[in-house]
Structure 1
Amino acid sequence: MAVACAVTATAVLLPLTARDDGGHSAPVRQSVARAVPAKADTCKDPEASLRPSAADGPTVARIKQRGKLIAGVDQNSFRWGYRNPATSTLENPATSNLEGFDIDLVRAIAEDILGDPNAVIYRAIPTNQRIEALQKDKVDIVVRTMTINCKRIEQVAFSTAYFQAGQQVLAPKASKITGYDSSLRGKKICTAKGSTAYDALKAKSFGALFDGDRYTVPNQLDCLVRLQLGLADAVVTDNALAAGQAAQDPAVELKGRPFTTEYYGVATKLGNDDLVRRVNKVLDGYRASGAWMRAYQKWLATDLPRISAPPAPKYRDN
């Protein structure tokens, strides 16, 4: 994995507390698969979002006035949002570019709103700070493998779903752990704070040890490190992320089958309806033009094969 990130004239990665350029805290047609609500949710259609629109409301206008889209992303999830040392520049040899499926989507949103895919300020955000970053206006959007569910739609607003995933167990190939079942009893399970994996374990742990600072980490990649060091027996996370971790370490593998159905969405602050509608307009074009499938083939098909289409968008009546 890379250890730094690229900084260019128009696309930069800043820490969560950084300031924007104005000195202020900142804040080919493809078929589509039918979406299924997340099994763990009890509300009706949490993935249903506002209908798309190209209109410039107050939130979009502020982004245009600033000249940059501020995006909360991951910087260490292989294939999704990660720093690649191979793309470092001569001008900045210690830095590297952010790459991945989520980053491509951020660039598409920036291009639609600002006419420039590089007009982005990237903010690296830990899993458990995604919602807070939006609520405190530190970012405009979060594109960070963020699951849409009933609890979260009360805290932030989501676009339509752009990827389907599911929780699964990652463990050493030699492990006797067979999946999300009684084989976890007494095992040290690592997961990220603020993740749906943590919530799943809290609801049903099969006697696994998972709570507390010994087992929960700010970023999911830290779990792979703990697994490699023998500090954890297994990891529970989205299979989309786990597949990327398995690609980095041939000694580990996914165990069993996914035990939830979850959908990722682009998140923004509650009330920023114009931005939600604009992102949904971008996603409609992203699916229809084949851009989604091209990004999937580039970043994810090797580790997550046999996906034929993105999830279909679901819209609310209002």
Structure 2
Amino acid sequence: MRSGRMRSARMRSGLAAVVCALGVTTALVGPALVDGGDDARRPQASERSRPGPHPLGAGSEAAAEDCEKPEASLRPSGASGPAIKRIKERKIHGHKVGKLIAGVDQNSYRWGYRDPATGELTGFDIDLVRAIAKDIFGDPDAVIYRTIPTSQRIKALQQGKVDIVVRTMTINCDRIKDVAFSTAYFQAGQQVLVPDDSSITGYNTTLRGKRVCTAQGSTAEAVLDEPDKGAKALGAIKVKPVPNQLDCLVRLQMGQVDAVITDNALAAGQAAQDPSVKLVGPRFTDELYGVAMNKNDDDLVRRVNQVLEDYRRGGADSPWQRAYRTWLAEDFGRTQRNPAPPDPLYKN
């Protein structure tokens, strides 16, 4: 057993060096989030009215309490409004660029990551960004990508640094107080990722006293903070939050934490990259990913929902199914044999 653990540790150490390098890349690219120039930003709160409370409730606290179907979004429309006009007429450093600014990840394998062969961003989420850009501009390459950490997704939208966030972002009642979402484009859930020789069997008492890594601002962090089923309820779990989900994998590989809790969609990609880690236990939440936007951009929300209507349409030959086969089928094939996009839910 000891020799097996040593081999596993050596494997994790070697792979950690590779992933650490990716983490450095994130740190270097991060400032690109704000390099669009003054002309590219949306007017700040001092220049326009602040977003009011979400119509689901009178005030943010009431919105969260009254929230039953956070995935319900505005009905689709191909019409242009103020947000679409702003995007099409965008200027950077005084020059009209006419591009969509999308907040994405560059380190989530299969979802949003840089192809080592080309250096280009690619993945399931990136395909969706390209579909949105093609609908607005007629060109799937009319995109400025901004790589953003998990904890900065909402702030980037509120400050007008990006038009959309397509970054495995779960729709939930807390987040709809601050941003607007499209209809759901993927269903996932939280799961536990551990070293291959771990005694942890899932999200249960085998985590008692263990060091668990989560990304700041993630659904996993919120679950672990819940009094009835979080870290305290399971028994003295030591939560170690980090800015980006990839940082958790690095810590796991280096033996600094005992487990990672994250979306199974992301964890499946990490397990595919690294044979020394594995997913354990069942998925213990059900979550829906959506495209996030500024709460004032109703016409953009409707336009994205129209794109998603077309993206789902076509059965086995739909753009959604083609993207699934390209990026996710290999990792999800054993547990999700008949994949399908979530049915859209619209507000009355």
TM above 0.5: yes
CA contact (8 A) 2:184 2:290 kept: yes
The 2-side partners of 1:111 and 1:135 are apart by 24
Q: CA separation of 1:50/1:241 partners in 2, compared to 1, >3 Å: closer, same or farther? A: same
Q: CA separation of 1:257/1:153 partners in 2, compared to 1, >3 Å: closer, same or farther? A: same
The 2-side partners of 1:50 and 1:297 are apart by 29
CA contact (8 A) 1:201 1:210 kept: no
CA contact (8 A) 1:81 1:99 kept: yes
CA contact (8 A) 1:165 1:240 kept: yes
Identify, as 1 or 2, the structure richer in helix. 2
Cα deviation digits, residues 195-238 of structure 1 (max 9, x gap) = 00001111111124343xxx111110111110000001000000
Match of 1:47 in 2: 71
CA contact (8 A) 2:209 2:238 kept: no
1:59 pairs with 2:83: yes
SS in 1 for 2:40: coil
Q: CA separation of 1:47/1:26 partners in 2, compared to 1, >3 Å: closer, same or farther? A: same
Cα deviation digits, residues 131-166 of structure 1 (max 9, x gap) = 000000000000000000011111100000000000
CA contact (8 A) 1:134 1:142 kept: yes
Aligned partner (choices 299, 307, 311) of residue 342 of structure 2? 311
Q: CA separation of 1:86/1:216 partners in 2, compared to 1, >3 Å: closer, same or farther? A: same
| Pairing of 1:76-225 with structure 2 (within 5 A) | 76-87=107-118, 96-203=119-226, 204-205=230-231, 206-211=234-239, 215-225=240-250
C-alpha root-mean-square deviation of aligned residues, in Å? 2.0
CA contact (8 A) 1:41 1:149 kept: no
TM-score (norm 2): 0.79
| Superposed displacement of residue 17, structure 1 | 1.4
Match of 2:286 in 1: 261
1:75 pairs with 2:91: no
Bigger relative contact order, structure 1 or 2, given CA contacts below 8 A and separation 6+? Answer: 1
AA aligned opposite 2:87: I
Aligned partner (choices 251, 265, 275) of residue 240 of structure 1? 265
| Superposed displacement of residue 42, structure 1 | 6.8
Cα deviation digits, residues 170-209 of structure 1 (max 9, x gap) = 0012101010000000100000000000011111111243
Match of 1:17 in 2: 34
TM-score (norm 1): 0.86
Aligned partner (choices 287, 291, 298) of residue 319 of structure 2? 291
SS in 2 for 1:86: coil
AA aligned opposite 1:301: A
| Superposed displacement of residue 26, structure 1 | 6.4
The 1-side partners of 2:236 and 2:173 are apart by 26
Cα deviation digits, residues 42-87 of structure 1 (max 9, x gap) = 7221111000000000001111112000000011000000111211
Consecutive unaligned residues of structure 1, counting only runs of 5 or more, are 6-11, 28-39, 88-95
Q: CA separation of 1:71/1:13 partners in 2, compared to 1, >3 Å: closer, same or farther? A: farther
Consecutive unaligned residues of structure 2, counting only runs of 5 or more, are 1-18, 44-63, 91-97
Match of 2:50 in 1: none
CA contact (8 A) 2:171 2:289 kept: yes
CA contact (8 A) 1:128 1:194 kept: yes
AA aligned opposite 1:250: P
How many corresponding residue pairs? 287
CA contact (8 A) 1:18 1:25 kept: no
The 1-side partners of 2:338 and 2:42 are apart by 36
Q: CA separation of 1:229/1:303 partners in 2, compared to 1, >3 Å: closer, same or farther? A: same
The 2-side partners of 1:74 and 1:210 are apart by 27
The 2-side partners of 1:41 and 1:239 are apart by 27
SS in 2 for 1:250: coil
The 2-side partners of 1:13 and 1:296 are apart by 28
Q: Which moved more, 1:68-77 or 1:201-210?
A: 201-210
